[in-house]
Structure 1
Amino acid sequence: MDVGCGTGQTAAFLSKSFRCSVTALDNHPTMIQKAKQRFSDERLPVHAIQGNVESLPFSDASFDFVLSESVTAFTNIADSLKEYCRVLKPGGVLLMIEMTAEKPFQPLELKDMKKVYGISNVFLETEWIQHLHRSGFVEAAVIFSNTVQSELQKNSPEKDDYPEYQISDPVDPQVEELLHEHMNLSRLYQNILGYRVYRAVRPSLARNQE
């Protein structure tokens, strides 16, 4: 399952690359509409569904993998992580890419983050790991890390390296302003903002019975 799938780019990649069964979920109806159109255009058997990651519309132990790309930090984190663990099969794997603080944010810095992103905190790496363990996961670890500063210092990337955007027409001026504020914050806090790829496992049945 690809949670917070957006327009379905990652879900489509997974379906084409691994020939696996993929479910794409997003809470926004426009994103699901765009994702369904992508899957139809590319003739991919990806199941797209509108739903909330804090209360996933799936039975326990439904998936082998759950993928979350920059989604969980913008939700009730404790609820979302527990839901990921619930819908994973025993031994199933969560892969999660999340904004991570390189050092603790100060109150005024957090105020800026809340204004733009609506979040009250930016977790340190150790705090993300703690939350994963509290939610029932084992073997929680970082498998890749980088900082915003490092990304910004790279040479100008090729066109194919840029994120894909499918902005609806007409563009809401508030959306344009939000994107502008996002870029400004990324530059302003590049020395304390980073991201991590976290990998965590739902315990196997044998371990649960110990």
Structure 2
Amino acid sequence: MNYTYLECLALFGVGGAHPGGLQLTKKILAEEKINGDTTLLEVGCGTGQTAAYLAQQYGCSINVLDNNSIMVEKAQQRFSSLALSIDAKVGDTENLPYPDKHFDIALSESVISFTNVIATIPEIKRVLKRNGRLLAIETVLEQTISEKEQTQIIDFYRFPQLFTENEWLTAFRDAGFQRVDVTKYQPGLEQVDEQHAADFSLSETIDDALLEILGKHEEIMQRNKDKLGFRIFRCS
């Protein structure tokens, strides 16, 4: 079977697969005003690691969505084991099953890049309240690369597009965000302890092909370490 990179993450049940993992997530969230009255949507929740932390740390109202049913099932298992009341849905970022102006914060950790950006960002903007904000960690193209190199990256990750920082800024502003603050993520600066390591919720059967995909991912990241980077976008 030919698995995609995202299917691989789902079957391994990787929590905190995004750059910086849970440690970076905590740092980003600590800079926001979040309390029990905050309504928050996590777009692309994975196994629910971030949502569980949010519920336990801040006690806010959380909805989560992912287009992969395996991920949602594993997130629901996590929430149930921790007795957390978090609504988890299988859904599409380009057609969010939520009303207009409903959330204070939308959070996306390496998710929007895997979608049609031009359709997803306006949809997230739609469900945010008038003064709501989007927090996003996303892949950026740091320098011009050959068409062959770009095709290899896009084909492996199934990215519909690969944006530079300026192209991201344009997409956020075109969707109606008035202010976009950008922080460059510098990998390898944090001391990752056991508490912040990626966690796994393995499926019963793990095909050898999945290990090959993880290996390929590491190879691509290493080969393109100067060409691919990550940014933290705060859009309001």
SS, match of residue 78 in structure 1: helix
Deviation, 1:158, is: 3.6
CA offset digits 1:128-179 (Å, max 9, x no partner): 111000111110120x2125xx53xx69844444322223121133322221
1:26, CA displacement in angstroms?
0.7
In structure 1, the residue corresponding to 2:209 is in which secondary structure?
helix
> Given that residues 25 and 50 in structure 1 are in contact (C-alpha distance below 8 angstroms), is that contact kept between their aligned partners in structure 2?
yes
Instruction: Tell me if the contact between 2:55 and 2:61 (Cα under 8 Å) persists in the aligned partners.
Output: yes
CA, structure 1 residues 155+13, in 2 after alignment: closer, same or farther (shift >3 Å)? closer
2:213 to 170, 178, 188: 178
Find the aligned partners of 2:82 and 2:159 in 1 and give their Cα distance: 35
CA contact (8 A) 2:116 2:161 kept: no
- d(CA) in 2 for partners of 1:102 and 1:71? 18
Shift of residue 54, structure 1, vs aligned partner: 1.1
1:145 aligns with 2:176: no
Q: Are 1:14 and 2:54 an aligned pair?
A: yes
Distance apart, 1:90 and its partner CA: 0.5
**1:204 corresponds to:** none
Higher relative contact order structure (alpha carbons within 8 Å, sequence separation ≥ 6): 2
CA deviation after TM superposition for structure 1 residue 94, in Å: 0.3
The answer to whether the aligner puts 1:97 opposite 2:137 as a matched pair is yes
**1:44-193 matched pairs, under 5 angstroms:** 44-142=84-182, 144-147=183-186, 150-151=187-188, 157-193=192-228
Distance 1:2 1:155, change over 3 A: closer
Aligned to 1:30: 70
CA contact (8 A) 1:129 1:141 kept: no
Structure 1 pair 21–155 and aligned structure 2 pair: CA distance change class (3 A): closer
Aligned length: 196
Contact 1:110–1:120 (8 Å) recurs in 2: no
Whether contact under 8 Å (1:97, 1:198) holds in the other structure is yes
TM-score (structure 2 length as normaliser): 0.78
- How far off is 1:63 after superposition? 0.7
Q: Provide structure 1 residue ranges, at least 5 long, that are not aligned to the other structure.
A: 202-210
Q: Does 1:197 align with 2:236?
A: no
Question: What SS is found at the alignment partner of 2:131?
Answer: strand
Q: Is the 8 A contact 1:97 1:196 kept in 2?
A: yes
| 5+ long unaligned stretches in structure 2 | 1-40
Query: Residue 22 of structure 1 aligns to a residue in which SS?
Result: strand
